[in-house]
Amino acid sequence: LAKTTQPISMDSYEGQEVNITCSHNNIATNDYITWYQQFPSQGPRFIIQGYKTKVTNEVASLFIPADRKSSTLSLPRVSLSDTAVYYCLVGDIRRSSASKIIFGSGTRLSIRP
Amino acid sequence: ETGVTQSPTHLIKTRGQQVTLRCSSQSGHNTVSWYQQALGQGPQFIFQYYREEENGRGNFPPRFSGLQFPNYSSELNVNALELDDSALYLCASSLPPEGGGGRFETQYFGPGTRLLVL
């Protein structure tokens, strides 16, 4: 089972780029990496997902090195509303091979004015 | 809004009681997963249902059980409640790519049910 390790907390300022790294040394071949954002008393919200190399969408980028033992979520030009807990999830939830899905402990990101 | 709804939003029970939590999936999603999230921790995977059958289970005892109905809505049942069962219970729906095409299957989470066991 791929266990993930993330920094417990990070601080940044509005307008800055924030990079959060997740370690997952035991990632399996069929596992892929998903990042979620969670506000207090709400369900996690999907941010981005990838298997290898780089993925970019309208809100973030995900960098995955060739060995896939880590991944980095990059949030460009953060704002106060980006203050939340960010989770790195490694697992294979496909119907054909559902396995135990492991959320990390999360990174509490605080953005200051 | 993800289109995933859960009921009730809050619930208070006492030790030894039984509880049923409900989840309505996003339209067209045939897979639902349940998670337990204790205060200050990440969600812990309980189990997943696909087309009314259990399709994977985390490290939870048998007193945690589930159902998925033909309309893909789902229930989580917990028997013999313990104090440590107090948590936010989340369900997430997804739609696996048919024919195995593509690896990515995004889960969309509901707002959760906050359960307090006294």
Is B5 in the A-facing interface, judged by CB distances under 8 Å?
A: no
pLDDT at B88 over 70: yes
* pLDDT recorded at residue A94: 60
Nearest CA-CA partner of A7 in A79, A108, A76, A102: A108
Is B41 in the A-facing interface, judged by CB distances under 8 Å?
A: yes
CB contact (8 A) between residue A105 and residue B41: yes
* pLDDT recorded at residue B83: 97
pLDDT at B4 over 80: yes
- pLDDT tens-digit series, residues B46-85: 998 988 898 888 889 999 999 999 988 999 999 999 999 9
Residues paired with residue B49 on neighbouring β-strands, in sequence order:
B32, B54
Distance of CA A83 to the CA centre of its chain: 14
CB contact (8 A) between residue B48 and residue A93: yes
Highest mean pLDDT of the ranges A81-90, B22-31, B98-107: A81-90
What is the token pair recorded at B97? 């790519």
Return the residue of A nearest to B92 by Cα.
A43
Separation CA B55–CA B65 (nearest Å): 12
Label residue A41 exposed, middle or buried (CB < 10 Å: 0-12, 13-18, 19+). exposed
* pLDDT recorded at residue B97: 62
CB contact (8 A) between residue B58 and residue A93: no
Low-confidence ranges of chain A (pLDDT < 50): 95-97
End-to-end CA distance of chain A: 39
* pLDDT recorded at residue A2: 61
CB B7 within 8 A of CB B113: yes
- Give, for A37, the enclosing helix (H) or strand (E): strand A32-38
* pLDDT recorded at residue B98: 61
Highest mean pLDDT of the ranges A47-56, B35-44, B81-90, B98-107: B81-90
Is B45 in the A-facing interface, judged by CB distances under 8 Å?
A: yes
The whole-angstrom distance between B2's CA and the closest CA on chain A is 8
CB contact (8 A) between residue A103 and residue B44: yes
* pLDDT recorded at residue B103: 54
